[in-house]
Amino acid sequence: MIEFHGIASKDGTLRFPPAQEKLRMHWLIDCSGKSVTERLHVSGRAKSQSQVKTHFGLAVMMIREKMIELGWDICGVAPNKEMIHEILTKACMGVGPLGEIVRLSEQTVDQNIKTFENIRAWAATQLGLNIPNPDKDWRSKK
């Protein structure tokens, strides 16, 4: 697989820097007669490392502690962080343009902010748990 990064113009064309355009053209010529898939994706700022730490270190751990306190188990096993992450992925992660779940590893900063709000709301309604904001000014820093 190879990726080319361009900018969509107002007339609906995709423009690449000259070096990428040349490489893309050569790559397509080399693939002549083969099935090729072109995937279009709108790039955004990637989530930050502190957002990942907030997800696993704050939200997931608080939810795990609350579930254990309330006696929750999953098939007779106390919930671990991987189980909780999967529950949150299915219940709270964003949905892409084709209805697919946008996993944490694929999220932009803005998508991750929305996911964290969804997780806070889920924890409040399902567990009676108030997950604090990681920073009082976190929304203004995006």
Residue found by looking up tokens 């932009």 in the block: 108
Q: Give residue 124's pLDDT.
A: 96
pTM exceeds 0.85, yes or no: no
- 53 and 121 share a domain? yes
Asked whether residue 134 is domain-assigned, the answer is: no
Separation between Cα atoms, residue 110 and residue 14, nearest integer Å: 24
Asked whether residue 12 is domain-assigned, the answer is: yes
Q: Could you give the number of structural domains in the chain?
A: 2
- 77 and 123 share a domain? yes
- 39 and 64 share a domain? no
Asked whether residue 25 is domain-assigned, the answer is: yes
Residue ranges in the chain modelled with pLDDT below 70: 41-48, 135-142
pLDDT digits (tens, 9 = 90+) for 54-71: 888 899 999 999 999 999
Residue 77, beta-bridge partner list: 74
Quote the percentage of the chain above a pLDDT of 90. 30
With CA atoms as reference, report the closest residue to 52 among 136, 113, 123: 113
Separation between Cα atoms, residue 136 and residue 90, nearest integer Å: 27
Domain carrying residue 10: 1-43
